[in-house]
Structure 1
C-alpha cells in the first residue's frame, strides 16, 4: 500500500489492529504522496494506492491503455487544516485572503495581522493530492517562493519554528500528533468575511459539510489484487475499523 501522506498514519494504525485478528496477513505501507501511490499502482508496485484526490483524466487513460481495472473505495472524509505558529495573532482567515497569501499576491501579513512581516509558505510537492486539492479549491497557482516539503511532519516542524509561517496538513495528522497540535495554531476558515468561521477539527461541521476544505479519501485497488486485499478492506468497513478512523481524527460521513 503506497500513496497519500494524509492517509499514511491512519493506514498504519488500521494495519496494526488488523494484524491482531488476521496475523496470517502482511501489509507494507509507505507514503510519498497520492501521485506516487497511483504511479506505483500503475507500475505494479502496489496493490492499493491511498489517494487524497480522485484520479485525473490522464491517469484514467493510462490505466485504460494498460488494461488495468480498478476498484475505488471511499473510506473516510478528511479536512485540510491551515496552521500557523502558536504566537500568530489571528485565529481565522477568509478564503479570498488565504488565496492571495498562498498565491504570493500578498507577500506580507499586513492585511491580516496589521504587521508588515513577510509570509513564509510551507506547502507540499506537486505530486501531493493535498497540494492539488488546495490549489484547485482556491483556483490559484502557489507562490514560487513556497517551500515544498516532503510531508505533514516537515510542514509541522517548519511552522513550529517560524512565527511568519503558514502551512497546510491533514486535520487527522494534527489530531494523531498530540504534541504537534499543542505547538501550532489551527486557523478557522470562513468562506467570506462576515460568515461564520469553521474549524477543521469540528466534527459536527464536517458532518454537515460546512468546512470549505473537506474531501473524501480514496483507495484504488487493482482488480487482480482484490481477493488478496479484501480482508483488510472489510476490516476498514467494520465497526472496529470505523472506530479507529474516527479516533485517528478522520470522519465517516453518514
Structure 2
C-alpha cells in the first residue's frame, strides 16, 4: 500500500502547564502504551529506530487506547497510542491536571469485520451489522442461508476500536458479546467458531497472511443497495469510501516531546513511512514535509 491520503492533521497542543513526570527523567528512555491496533507496528518501528540509534530504549505495551491515555495522565507513559481521539472528558481531565500534551496523527487505519472462512457470506450492510452487534439479529438465517446462532467476538470497553465501532454503528453492544483483549484473540476465536463474527484492525490481518488464514474479511455496504467495499481496498480508503476507517493517534507529554521527537521524525522518514505502509496502513499527505 503506497498511496497517500490528502488530509491535514497538524500537531495540536492541549493548553496547560506540564507537570514533572518520572517518564521524562531519562533522556534516552521512552515508554509507550495503549492501542492494540497499533502495538505490532509500534514494536517494529521501535526496533528499526533503536537499530539506528542504540542509545535509545523504548518500552512498549498494549492494553487498549483508554489504558494508554490513562497511563499518560498518570505519568506512566511518554506516548499513548490511540485508535480514537480524546473524549471531551479526557481533554478536561488533562486540563484539570495542568498536563500539556501534543497530538500526532501518523497513519490511517480501517477496521475489518471477520467471520469463519466457511460461513456463506462475503459482505454485509451497515444496518444489518448494527443489528447483529446490538443483539437484535441473533441468528445467521436473517442474513445468510445458514441457521446458526451468532457469536460476537469484540473488544473490552477500554479499546479504541470498541468505541469506534460503537460510535459508527450508533449502538450499544449486546451484553452477550465476548470481550477479548486484542486482535489475535478475536481472530483465534473466530477461526475456531463457524458461527462467530468479530472486528480487528485491517492492518493486522493485511500485514500477516498467517493471521487471516481460516477467516474471511467481509466487504461492507453503506446501505443494502450500495457497492460492497473491502477494508483492504487501498483506492477506497484513499477516497474515504470505506465506512469503518479512521486516523491513528499518538498523544505525547509535552514534557517528553524533546526526547520523543527523534522517534517521531523516524516515523515520518522514508524508512518509517515504508514500514507503516508495509503493515497495511496509509500515510497522510500532510506528513510528507513534517520532519
TM-score between the two structures when normalised by the length of structure 1: 0.99
In the alignment, which of 227, 235, 247 is matched to residue 196 of structure 1? Answer: 227
Equivalent positions of 1:37-186 (< 5 A) are: 37-186=68-217
**Residues 198, 205 of structure 1: 8 Å contact kept:** yes
Segments ≥4 residues shifted beyond 3 Å:
none
Residue 271 of structure 2 is matched in structure 1 by 240
**Residues 37, 51 of structure 1: 8 Å contact kept:** yes
Aligned length: 254
Asked whether 1:210 is paired with 2:241, we answer yes
TM-score between the two structures when normalised by the length of structure 2: 0.86
Asked whether 1:19 is paired with 2:19, we answer no
After superposition, the C-alpha distances for 1:64-117 in whole angstroms (9 at most, x for unaligned) are: 011100100000000000000010101000000000001000110111113221
Structure 2 SS opposite 1:28: strand
Unaligned stretches of 5+ residues in structure 2? 1-31, 286-291
Deviation at 1:194, TM superposition (A): 1.8
Asked whether 1:251 is paired with 2:260, we answer no
**In structure 1, what is the Cα distance between the partners aligned to 2:280 and 2:214?**
17
Residue 30 of structure 1 is matched in structure 2 by 61
**In structure 2, what is the Cα distance between the partners aligned to 1:176 and 1:152?**
13
Deviation at 1:61, TM superposition (A): 0.8
In the alignment, which of 253, 261, 271 is matched to residue 222 of structure 1? Answer: 253
**Residues 122, 155 of structure 1: 8 Å contact kept:** yes
Structure 2 SS opposite 1:29: strand
The structure number with the bigger radius of gyration is: 2
Unaligned stretches of 5+ residues in structure 1? none
- Which sits farther off after the overlay, 128-137 or 111-120? 111-120
**In structure 2, what is the Cα distance between the partners aligned to 1:86 and 1:7?**
25
- Which sits farther off after the overlay, 220-229 or 18-27? 18-27
**Bigger fraction of residues in helix:** 1
**In structure 1, what is the Cα distance between the partners aligned to 2:80 and 2:144?**
41
**In structure 1, what is the Cα distance between the partners aligned to 2:238 and 2:246?**
11
